[in-house]
Amino acid sequence: MPVRRFADGEVVMGRWPGSVLYYEVQVASYNDLTHLYTVKYKDGTELELKESDLRSVSSFKHRKSNSSSSSPSRRSGSRSRSRSPGRSAKGKRRSSSQSRESKEEKKKTVRETNLTFLKLSENNTSRYNGEPDSTERNDTSYKPLQVVEGLPLLNGRRLKYRINGFYAFVLTVAAVGTSLYFEIELHYLYDHFLQFAVSAATFSVLLSIYLYARSLKAPKEELSPGGNSGNFVYDFFIGRELNPRIGNFDLKYFCELRPGLIGWVIINLAMLLAEMKVQDRNMPSLSMILVNSFQLLYVVDALWNEDAILTTMDITHDGFGFMLAFGDLVWVPFIYSLQAFYLVSHPSEISWPTASAIIILNIFGYYIFRGANSQKNAFRRNPKDPKLAHLKCIPTAAGKSLLITGWWGLVRHPNYLGDLIMALAWSLPCGFNHILPYFYVLYFTCLLIHRENRDGHQCKKKYGLAWERYCQRVPYRIFPYIY
Ligand code: NDP
């Protein structure tokens, strides 16, 4: 029989349902049958919470704020057994014009909350940002080779992730450099491209079978929201378990960046060497140098900003199944390197002015891509980051806010826009004689349009009215004034 952790009358921190915010609550009672605690918030709100939503007060950092009152129920809009008494009394004492005025004010506050204002208006007595002491120190200035915590899972737990992808890359470069020094022929990869791709595909199928089998034993709260329809084919494809781990080794997180991205760079390098050999050149072509450099920048950027992946859909929402296993281990290294592969047997000479225009296009795309991703990542990690104080956001009932200015006020997925501009810049050096180098940009446009739709549905479910307001405020999805 499970033993209860908190006694009646004890003051603890209770998570507000659907959010990451914790408030001081008093345990009123415990139900032995449902294993739920009835807790009372300071404003009188009573709720039933699971033990995993309760924490001891000592594990939180206490911050004082001298701003005006706001109860959790008011902020979240959730239903509770009793309403805040202070709220109704206030309403009765006001005249109708005063209350109209205050309604208008409230609407304004809800619609557009400047970040600095948000900081002041959180709570009358004390405000906790939902994280235990140790994670409060999280900021956006991570250095590689760190352990950071991911976003809270449904049960409130946060997994730890080792940030060392960039060092894995440096180590791989050293190993490849050494093998080149000993004259190991890397263009072997070009000669046996298909065999390598088929081997990787076979491995990804085996890995997916293993992932599916182990997910059958996984506890319910560790399953992904999307991959548990009961339809074997669909669940096998989407992935059932959200964060499959062997000990501390996170299989999805590892596959997301390391083998696929680093493999892609190595294949590109092999193509560059193969081009020199096949075309009997002393130097790689300018087109090949551009393709290699652009894609190298993309990979190094992803590895350098490795922690940013922890707030992406792949990590927070999608399970680990065939879709990600095949995507990470086969699709990324073998399809994304098609431009370099093409150039080996299809020489494409471009002039310096053309090359310069393509470089500017790539830098432009990268600027949008990195700016948007970093802004959202910094905001999700610490909405009160002083560097973001100039941005506006709208609060949502789920506790998180949505940025409505800055990159995320331009279109709903500015990061996709930047990514697509770069994708075009990677294809252009190959000229216009063949569709193959443009496969990536065409496929990627379809993928991101579909992904944007999928994300939009999820956000609508998560944020309801606030999401609709965001969509009204930011009508274009990816391409300003077009789509
Ligand atoms: P995003 O990083 O775009 O994350 C979407 C999430 O951001 C939403 O679910 C929501 O999550 C949050 N969000 C949405 N709007 C706002 C807002 N206004 N303010 C604050 N938060 C908001 O998702 P992806 O994982 O799809 O993309 C990450 C990057 O990876 C992109 O740059 C993309 O181009 C790239 N990518 C590259 C691929 C490739 O093959 N090369 C494949 C797929 C993606 P919540 O509110 O829960 O935090």
Query: DSSP letter at 311?
Result: G
> Which of 313, 339, 454 to mutate for ligand 1's pocket (most ligand atoms within 8 Å of CB)?
313
Helix (H) or strand (E) holding 160: strand 160-163
Q: What is the rounded CA–CA span in Å between residue 291 and residue 231? A: 41
> Which of 455, 457, 468, 469 to mutate for ligand 1's pocket (most ligand atoms within 8 Å of CB)?
455
Q: Is the pTM of this model over 0.75?
A: no
> What pLDDT was estimated at residue 56?
83
Atom of ligand 1 nearest to the CA of 416: 34
> What pLDDT was estimated at residue 98?
44
Q: Which two tokens stand for residue 397?
A: 């009932």
Atom of ligand 1 nearest to the CA of 151: 48
Helix (H) or strand (E) holding 14: strand 11-15
Of 89, 105, 77, 87, which Cα lies nearest the Cα of 396? 77
> What pLDDT was estimated at residue 110?
39
Neighbours of 171 (CB within 10 A): 12
Q: Which two tokens stand for residue 85?
A: 């008494």
Q: Which two tokens stand for residue 358?
A: 């393509």
Backbone angles phi and psi of 99, in degrees to 5: -70, -30
> What pLDDT was estimated at residue 174?
95
* CB distance 415 to ligand 1 below 6 Å: yes
Distance 465 CA to ligand 1 centre (A): 20
Q: What is the rounded CA–CA span in Å between residue 12 and residue 59? A: 10
> What pLDDT was estimated at residue 145?
61
Q: Report all structural domains of the chain as residue ranges with CATH numbers, in order of start.
A: 11-61 (2.30.30.140), 72-124 (no CATH), 132-473 (no CATH)
Neighbours of 190 (CB within 10 A): 22
Query: DSSP letter at 2?
Result: P
Distance 408 CA to ligand 1 centre (A): 11
Tens-binned pLDDT, residue by residue, of the chain (483 aa): 557 888 888 888 887 665 566 778 888 888 887 788 888 876 566 677 888 888 887 776 544 333 333 333 333 333 333 333 233 333 333 334 444 444 444 444 334 433 333 333 333 322 223 333 333 334 444 455 688 888 777 777 888 888 889 999 999 999 999 999 998 888 889 999 999 999 999 999 999 999 999 999 888 888 887 778 888 999 999 999 999 999 889 999 999 999 999 999 999 999 999 999 999 999 999 999 999 999 999 999 999 988 888 878 888 888 999 999 999 999 999 999 999 999 999 998 899 999 999 999 999 999 999 999 989 988 888 888 888 888 888 888 777 889 999 999 999 999 999 999 999 999 999 999 899 999 999 999 999 999 999 889 988 888 888 889 999 999 999 999 888
> What pLDDT was estimated at residue 131?
32
> What pLDDT was estimated at residue 334?
95
Neighbours of 317 (CB within 10 A): 15
Query: DSSP letter at 12?
Result: E
> What pLDDT was estimated at residue 228?
81
Q: What is the rounded CA–CA span in Å between residue 79 and residue 358? A: 55
* CB distance 154 to ligand 1 below 6 Å: no
> What pLDDT was estimated at residue 2?
57
Q: What is the rounded CA–CA span in Å between residue 413 and residue 402? A: 12
* CB distance 336 to ligand 1 below 6 Å: no
Q: What is the rounded CA–CA span in Å between residue 350 and residue 340? A: 15
Helix and strand totals (H; E) in the chain: 20, 14
How many angstroms separate the Cα of 181 from the Cα of each of 176, 271, 359? 9, 17, 31
Query: DSSP letter at 464?
Result: T
Q: Which two tokens stand for residue 21?
A: 């915010």
Distance 412 CA to ligand 1 centre (A): 10
- Would you say the C-alpha torsion 81, 85, 87, 93 has a positive or negative sign? positive
